Amino acid sequence: MTNDLVEFATHSDVLVLIGTNTSECHPIIAMQMLRGIERGAKMIVIDPKKTDMAKKADIYIQTPVGYNIPFLNAMINYIIQENLYDKNFVENFSHGFEYVKEAVKEFTPKRVEDETGISQELVKQAARTYAKANAAAICYTMGMTQFIDGTSNIFSLSNLAILTGNLGKKGAGVNPLRGQNNVQGSCDMGALPNVVPNGPVTSKEVRDHIKDIWGYEISEKIGYALTVAPDKIEEEKLKLLYVFGENPVMSDPWTEHFVHAVEHLETFIVQDIFLTETAQKADVVLPAASWGEKDGTFLNTSRRVQLIRKAVDAPNNLDPDWKVVANIAKELDIKGFDYTCAEDIWNEVRKVNPKFFGGISYERIDKNDGISWPCPDLDHPGTPVLYEGNKSMLPDGKFKLVPVIYSEDKEQRVKLEQEFIEKTNMPKDYPIGSGALSEKVNELYPCLFTTGRKVYHYHTGTMTRECKPLELGSDIMGATIEVSEDIARERKLDEGCYALVENKRGKIAAKVNINRDLRHGTIFTTFHYAEADGNVLANAEEKDPLSGMNPLKMTIAKIKKISEEEFLSVRNQTDIQMHPSELYRAVRRQ
Ligand SMILES: Nc1nc2c(c(=O)[nH]1)N[C@H]1C(S)=C(S)[C@@H](COP(=O)(O)OP(=O)(O)OC[C@H]3O[C@@H](n4cnc5c(=O)[nH]c(N)nc54)[C@H](O)[C@@H]3O)O[C@H]1N2
Ligand SMILES: Nc1nc2c(c(=O)[nH]1)N[C@H]1C(S)=C(S)[C@@H](COP(=O)(O)OP(=O)(O)OC[C@H]3O[C@@H](n4cnc5c(=O)[nH]c(N)nc54)[C@H](O)[C@@H]3O)O[C@H]1N2
Ligand SMILES: [Mo]
């Protein structure tokens, strides 16, 4: 996040929530937002589902799943047309205004109305409210990123913030609300295919610095993204997979494809705190201590480094993850893993990336209840708000407005981008984005199928489904298939009846829940339940060209009512069932 989440309560005048079901997925952040609203802040929510936050919003816009670039371009267009943008910020602190102006030219609020039925007045009102605020924060999550144009969606959100000068000040910014306690930390530590903790592996300067500290050369080659792993296994380019703190048999799209692929691995290692659906397919399972059983640091969504301290002993003195990894390195005779505790590792991180972490010592984190990066030295207070003084982190200190075009035909994206670059004489290395839909509904598969979360469970349910008050209490409904009202009416689906959802990748069966908050034509389910996992149907074939992300938020499907007998027969054919508790917990007993 560019800003600290507490600022939603204390400083934001306008909150834009786009593609985030904040109260179900980030309840603590939602609470800060609601405090802001009590203070007088306005809230705009853009989401195909009328979420709890949408019900509390001043402006709610129910866009169709995947209809993001045309919508955001229309907001930008209106802001430019009506001279609502911040001329000083655009002229003095950014590049690329003319490219963006050209890219959004044909996207008007009227076009949004014609294409979606959303009133153009509402789009204009949202644009005006955002642009006129003193400090407006954009918050987004998976409803923006999990598409083949997810990166371009984020370019568009950044464009909005740059155009209106909503950067470098309290309460403003572009804020991806991160999903896991330490996902920000994992990325900062280099758990991505293209970076190490001090920058991209393609940079010689970065590699030289690493060599000074680690004592060996690192490869300049960018590794494979998780989303290409199944294909690379089948091509025999990937022979060993070491899965660590993930349950991809359930969380990766197109389950059949993933499960088939891992069966072809030479070696499959899983390191987890439970014997998950994925661990059950592994050759080697390495148990590890969980968060309450170890020391270390977690980096939260506001870039704040926080200490965690061991509260209880792990069963059978299980090692924390870092030690499991260090033990393997020692067996392999790899030098440099002689740490005695988590703090040793953190102090190495401070040397590897001194600009960000140099001043963040354990002692200071403890005293200050966390410090946000960048914090280069021990006298630096940390940086809760990025870009103060309107300076970006790019070499010339300016922000780049990135033109985002739209292609009705996904196959034409590259060609249209090329044409745009030529038409506008953009420099060859200037970034450009484009929107397109990965799939469109058709006669065979007439419904949009989307996936996401419910408040009661966490992802693949490994940690929450073992919790009886959740599993058998608040979430007693279990796996359901949520359908919009029109789908229920047309297919004669009653609340609680059984239904089968199917597409070319697979089928799942569950009880129907008619969700009047869903935009028409939409089916929603989660990936919390092994017995009816939305990922059986999710699209793994297509990817965002820049991030490699799959369009987990949209595919197409058909749905029909089935009898209890048919339901049971589909369930019996499902290979992956909810884990048997006893076996599942065995990892931590050995
Ligand atoms: N209870 C609970 N909380 C969690 C998690 C969990 O599993 N359970 N997981 C954590 C993790 S890792 C993450 S990443 C976050 C995810 O948090 P969120 O991203 O908030 O959760 P999702 O349910 O994936 O869906 C996000 C929202 O995007 C909307 N959406 C779908 N398509 C579009 C679109 O085209 N445009 C727009 N504007 N909106 C769209 C959906 O209707 C939904 O409201 O939650 C975190 N918190
Ligand atoms: N269809 C669809 N698919 C999705 C998404 C979606 O919206 N739709 N969202 C995607 C997103 S945003 C995310 S983040 C992923 C989440 O997908 P996963 O990360 O695969 O899901 P989790 O259930 O959170 O799995 C985390 C695993 O880590 C283990 N674990 C917990 N603590 C520790 C520890 O300290 N050490 C070790 N070694 N293991 C530990 C848990 O037991 C669990 O098995 O799913 C993605 N998949
Ligand atoms: Mo996530």
Each residue of 63-82: pLDDT tens digit?
A: 999 999 999 999 999 999 99
Average pLDDT value for residue range 475-480 = 90
Q: Is the CB of 552 under 6 A from ligand 2?
A: yes
CB 201 within 8 A of CB 122: no
Ligand 2 in reach of 123 Cβ (< 6 A): no
Q: Which regions of 10-108 does DSSP assign to beta strands (E)?
A: 14-18, 42-46, 59-61, 94-95
What protein residues have CB closer than 5 angstroms to ion ligand 3?
179
Same-domain status, 415 and 454? no
For residues 427 and 534, state if they share a domain: no
Q: How many CB atoms lie within 10 A of CB 349?
A: 21
Q: Of all protein residues, whose CA lies closest to atom 40 belonging to ligand 1?
A: 143
- CA 77 vs. chain centroid, Å, equals 27
The answer to whether residues 112 and 132 belong to one domain is: yes
Which range marks the domain in which residue 527 is found? 447-579
Atom of ligand 1 nearest to the CA of 48: 42
DSSP result, 503-542: ETTEEEEEEEEE-TTBPTTEEEEESS-GGG-GGGTS--S-
Ligand 2 within 6 A of CB of 251: yes
| 27 and 160 in a common domain | yes
**Both 486 and 530 in a single domain?**
yes
Is 405 a domain residue? yes
**According to the model, what pLDDT value does residue 586 have?**
67
Nearest ligand to the C-alpha atom of residue 141: 1
pLDDT, tens digit, 9 for 90 and up, residues 41-62: 999 999 999 999 999 999 999 9
Q: Is residue 223 part of a domain?
A: no
What's the pLDDT band for 133 if we cut at 50, 70, 90? Answer: very high
The average pLDDT across 195-204 equals 96
- Single-letter residue type at 61: I
Ligand 2, atom nearest to 535 Cα: 1
* Predicted local distance difference test score (pLDDT) of residue 589: 59
Is residue 362 scored above 70 in pLDDT? Answer: yes
Q: Which residues pair with 18 in a beta bridge?
A: 46, 140
Residues 452, 417 share a domain: no
pLDDT band of residue 476 (cuts 50, 70, 90) is: confident
Number of domains in the chain: 2
CA distances from 36 to 176, 486, 549 (A): 18, 36, 33
| 145/345 Cα distance (integer angstroms) | 32
Does ligand 2 come within 6 angstroms of the Cβ of 298? no
Q: Residue 439: pLDDT above 60?
A: yes
Q: Which of 460, 481, 576, 579 to mutate to test the pocket of ligand 2 (most atoms within 8 A of CB)?
A: 460
Query: What pLDDT was estimated at residue 590?
Result: 46
494 within a domain of the structure (yes/no): yes
What does the buried/exposed string (b/e) look like for 381-412 if buried means 16 or more CB atoms within 10 Å of the residue's CB?
Answer: ebbbbbbeebebeeeeebbbbbbbbbbeebee
Q: Does the residue 359 lie in any domain?
A: no
Q: 415, 435, 455 — which closes off a domain? A: 435
**Which pLDDT belongs to residue 466?**
85
Residues 405, 545, single domain; the answer is no
Residue 46 C-alpha to ligand 1 middle, in angstroms?
13
Percent of the chain exceeding pLDDT 90 equals: 93
Name which residue sits closest to atom 13 of ligand 1, judged by CA.
179
Same domain, 455 and 399: no
Residue 237 has pLDDT above 60, yes or no: yes
Q: Are 438 and 149 in contact (CB under 8 A)?
A: no
Candidate from 272, 312, 541, 587 with most ligand 2 atoms within 8 A of CB, to mutate: 272
> Same domain for 414 and 528?
no
Is residue 512 situated within a structural domain? yes
Res. 350: pLDDT tops 90 = yes
Rounded Cα distance between 530 and 278, Å, is 11
pLDDT for 471: 87
The rounded distance, in Å, linking the Cα atoms of 269 and 284 is: 5
Please give the average per-residue pLDDT across 100-120, as a whole number.
98
Examine the domain organization and report whether 27 and 125 are in the same domain. Answer: yes
Average pLDDT, rounded, for the chain? 96
pLDDT the model gives residue 530:
92
Does residue 20 sit in the same domain as residue 169?
yes
Mutate to test the pocket of ligand 2, among 246, 525, 537 (most ligand atoms within 8 A of CB): 246
534-584: pLDDT as tens digits: 999 999 999 999 999 999 999 999 999 999 999 999 988 876 666 666 766
- Specify the pTM: 0.97
Q: Is residue 238, in this structure, part of any structural domain at all?
A: no
Cα–Cα dist 309/566, whole Å: 50
